[in-house]
Structure 1
Amino acid sequence: MASPWVEDDEPTDWEGPAAADDDGQTGTPLPYVDPEVAAELAGEGPPVWMGTRWREIEAEHQWEAWNTLRRWVDWFVAEYRLVTSVVPPCWYKHSDLTAELYAAMCMEYKVWEEQAPGLGPMMMWHPHVEMLTARLRRMVDEAGCAKIGMHKEPEAYGDRPAFTLDYDEDDFTAWAGTTREQDTLERPEEGVQYLRARVLNGDGDEVAVSNPVGLAARRTPSKVTAEVVTTSSTPAEPSVRVLVSSTDASLEVEWQTSRDCEAWV
């Protein structure tokens, strides 16, 4: 087919005949790309450490990561006019602020990664900026740095460092080592059925026995009740619903009408 942009019917360079590749397949040949240019294009994109958990960034990349994050934070503060009660100058000394800002940097990059019009920036980035700044403000308020105008180290209580838990090690070990299993049982047809669990070791010896639990036979209500309620009283097609109290699945509902609530048909 002739090109719509030329007047003659001669094929242009980009309309050359299909050529066969090494496998004998034919198709339109791709334009030539210099190997060095191709390598450069392939190298474009985020740094190798970006997207990795901040605590897992290799030592050789940490200097670059800190400087990249600082440049982004400087842009973020200026772009969204953030005060020090949201991002203080000592943000890098607070692991929670650093983690929050690093996650935000990764997200901001992701929503613009495709470099094409889309809903990502409006639907994902900007709504999260509002939530992000609220979380940052709370973190900074708890840290207390903005209140005194300088970095404040977290306060320790007792003999423990700040942000550490005083575990009851015996209790935790017992809880973590507890095996939990669950099963579904059937109630007996009549009377009560008791059951318990035995714990056996690798040699098949009993090492523990649980408390017994009794399961009584399922009770079937002897009385069947029915109640009709109005669910909609619209002028056209009003609707009602009947509630039947019974465990007998074989029951059926039959509707009746009456003019005087005495004679039913």
Structure 2
Amino acid sequence: MALDAVAQSETLRSVLGEWVPKIVCEFALSEQVVPRCWYRHSAMIHELLALFQYRQQQQFNMELGPPVSAAIDFQYQFSLWRQRMRSLTGDAGCTASKHLAQHRPSWADSSTTDFAMWSVDLDEFARELVAFAEPDVSESSALENGEES
């Protein structure tokens, strides 16, 4: 999320664009796990990149060497990852022949008035949290003086 558009594009093409087809073939992953249009879904990109980075860090640590359990750790994480990807793919509703655009709730889209209203609600709630957490000044000074309220 912190990468600019050029870095995102490069990561998509040179890292995930090469690695995702390999892992799909290696593990015979179906379109219900990794759909053809995975690169159009930011949540799927994050999941794929997280799995790639985990694998790289666990199995190819040149300084310390991989932990003895690296292979089984990867398989465990891979199993969890498959469940999350299957869920994301199901939520997206894409099929092998049809991509559905990502739905963004209007409250999360900074170009909408709904976002502005949501921001005000968030700010008010945050202020309420602080006000609720702070003790009443007159009450706390009375307690310090040994007075009962």
Q: Normalising by structure 1, what TM-score?
A: 0.42
Cα distance change of structure 1 residues 60 and 172 upon mapping to structure 2, 3 Å threshold: closer
- Structure 2 residue 126 is the aligned partner of structure 1 residue 176: yes
1:124-153 CA-partner distances (Å, limit 9, x unpaired): 21101111111111111111102x731111
Alpha-carbon distance in structure 2 between the residues aligned to 1:149 and 1:60: 28
Could you say which structure has the higher strand fraction?
A: 1
Could you say which structure has the higher helix fraction?
A: 2
- Structure 2 residue 36 is the aligned partner of structure 1 residue 89: yes
- Structure 2 residue 82 is the aligned partner of structure 1 residue 133: yes
Cα distance change of structure 1 residues 173 and 130 upon mapping to structure 2, 3 Å threshold: same
1:44-85 CA-partner distances (Å, limit 9, x unpaired): xxxxxxxxxxx2224453343112111111111011110111
Cα distance change of structure 1 residues 144 and 106 upon mapping to structure 2, 3 Å threshold: same
1:132-184 CA-partner distances (Å, limit 9, x unpaired): 111111111111102x73111145xxxxxx2342454543322122325367x
Alpha-carbon distance in structure 1 between the residues aligned to 2:4 and 2:102: 27
Letter in 1 for 2:74: W
Unaligned stretches of 5+ residues in structure 2? 108-113, 140-147
Conserved in 1, the CA contact under 8 Å of 2:55 and 2:74?
Answer: yes
Give the deviation of 1:121 after TM superposition: 2.0
Could you tell me which residue of structure 2 aligns to residue 111 of structure 1? 58
Alpha-carbon distance in structure 2 between the residues aligned to 1:96 and 1:168: 23
Query: Which has more radius of gyration?
Result: 1
Conserved in 1, the CA contact under 8 Å of 2:41 and 2:102?
Answer: no
| Percentage of identical aligned residues | 24
Cα distance change of structure 1 residues 182 and 96 upon mapping to structure 2, 3 Å threshold: same
Q: Normalising by structure 2, what TM-score?
A: 0.71
Selected match of 1:145 from 94, 98, 105: 94
User: With CA pairs under 8 Å and 6+ residues apart, which has the higher RCO, 1 or 2?
Assistant: 2
SS of structure 1 residue aligned to 2:10: helix
